[in-house]
Amino acid sequence: MLNIVLVEPEIPNNTGNIGRLCVGTESRLHLVHPFGFVINDKNLKRSGLDYWVHLDVSEYANVEEWIKSIPDPSRVFLMSSHAEKSYLENDFQDGDWLVFGKESVGLSKEVLDQFENHLTIPMSKLIRSFNIANSVAFVVGEAKRQIGLKI
């Protein structure tokens, strides 16, 4: 099972869509506070539809609390538009942690400095970034494809 981490998510619709993706891909969702919304926000539930009740989700008060829950930091992969290595070049394994930052600014330098594995999603220079829900879908899809090939 993959672990999908959203650090300080800001937009409930994105979090709801990612929650739905996690249910559909049998992945765990980890949400790190503070959020830019209330977890029972109607938009979050609208985006997650009726799937939210099936979601394997954990919440953490802050980054430090989340980091304490990680059994193997070498299997944590942080997504950053500043990384040099593409997620398509990475060898994913069952149980990996895929970490995404807040929509407005991504992951902070403090979070990035705590882990060595940074990955990027290749994109045209015409855009700054992809929507976070799309970014999660790209990376989870590739990771699940790779894991499926190893079974």
Annotated binding site for S-adenosyl-L-methionine: 79, 101, 121, 129
Give Cβ neighbours of residue 66 (< 8 Å, ≥ 6 apart).
Answer: 5, 7, 30, 32, 60
Any idea how long the chain is?
151
Residue 88 tokens read as 């398509």
Helix-then-strand count for the chain, H and E: 5, 6
Q: How many CB atoms lie within 10 A of CB 134?
A: 14
Three-class SS state of 85: coil
Residues annotated within the binding site are: 79, 101, 121, 129
Q: How far apart are CA 68 and CA 51, in angstroms?
A: 28
